């Protein structure tokens, strides 16, 4: 019986080490890929974008269809598309609560923002740039970035998160309003409108810096993942050796 228990214990420790080793390997590979493949490419893209000129209305009109370009200006004369917040473009998330059954403390709700089902509404936008106004084509595939306005509208649900005191189905809007300065990277469509590829709430300087920061953050995240890999392996080894 003692021998059987010993064999079982050895097998369990080996299985644990293999699992931890596999997870550590994934962290190392993923971190290396992020730091030395994806981050450098983002840095190249950021540098290429930074070298592009911000076009005036005259230059935009002269650009051929399909050309990638950047414009910066203020949103103007756009009708609000939300019943709440006067947003002319927005992304919205809902607060979802989950019932936690606890015999000692009693049942309670915990909640989080449902980012997986984020709703994005970016209609045709009129942007006043130097010399005139350009229009963008509508899209639902972009994520708005930059200094967005944020407003939270709470529901009247009785399912209230214990920590945040926020009812289920509350809504968080992040969006743009008329008068906001935006920087848009995109391509000129065949009809003369701008097909947005990136829509940033802020001026050109902030937009370029944001692209650089994203590449730097990705590089640092990859380095952290690679640093975490041996620590995970060491922790798994110590746990396997000293586990009773």
Look at residue 212 and tell me whether its pLDDT is greater than 80: yes
Q: Which CATH number fits domain 2-242: 3.30.413.10, 2.40.50.140, 1.10.3720.10, 3.90.600.10?
A: 2.40.50.140
Domain assignments of the chain as residue spans, ordered by start: 2-242
Residue 228 has which token pair?
């975490």
Sign of the alpha-carbon torsion through 117, 121, 127, 133: positive
* Whole-angstrom distance, CA of residue 120 vs CA of residue 101: 34
| Rounded Cα distance, 189 and 210, in Å | 26
The predicted-structure confidence for 6-59, as pLDDT tens digits, reads as follows 667 667 777 777 888 888 888 889 988 888 888 888 899 889 999 999 999 999
61-70 pLDDT, tens digit per residue, is 999 999 999 9
pTM: 0.81
Q: Collapsing DSSP states into helix, strand and coil, what is residue 124?
A: coil
How many CB atoms sit inside 10 A of residue 15's CB?
A: 11
Q: What pLDDT digit, counting tens, does each position of 76-85 carry?
A: 999 999 888 8
Give the pLDDT score at 24.
86
How many Cβ atoms from other residues are within 10 Å of residue 160's Cβ? 17
């Amino acid at each position: 019986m003692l021998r059987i228990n010993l064999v079982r214990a050895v097998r369990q420790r080996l299985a644990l080490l293999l699992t931890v080793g596999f997870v550590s390997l994934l962290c190392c590979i993923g971190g290396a890929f992020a730091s030395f493949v994806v981050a450098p490419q983002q840095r190249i893209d950021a540098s290429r974008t930074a070298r592009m000129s911000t076009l005036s209305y005259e230059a935009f009109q002269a650009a051929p269809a399909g050309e990638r370009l950047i414009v910066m200006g203020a949103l103007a004369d756009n009708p609000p598309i939300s019943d709440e917040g006067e947003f002319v473009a927005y992304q919205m998330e809902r607060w979802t609560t989950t019932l936690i059954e606890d015999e000692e403390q009693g049942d309670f709700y915990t909640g989080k923002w449902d980012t997986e089902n984020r709703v994005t509404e970016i209609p045709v936008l009129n942007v006043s740039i130097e010399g005139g106004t350009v229009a963008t084509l509508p899209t639902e595939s972009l994520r708005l970035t930059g200094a967005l306005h944020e407003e939270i509208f709470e529901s009247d649900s009785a399912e209230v998160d214990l920590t945040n005191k926020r009812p289920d189905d509350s809504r968080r809007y992040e969006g743009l309003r008329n008068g906001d300065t935006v920087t848009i990277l995109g391509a000129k469509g065949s009809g003369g409108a701008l097909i947005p590829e990136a829509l940033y709430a802020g001026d050109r300087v902030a937009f370029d810096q944001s692209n650089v920061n994203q590449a730097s953050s990705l590089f640092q995240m990859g380095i952290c993942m690679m640093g975490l890999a041996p620590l995970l392996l060491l922790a798994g080894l110590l746990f396997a050796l000293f586990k009773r």
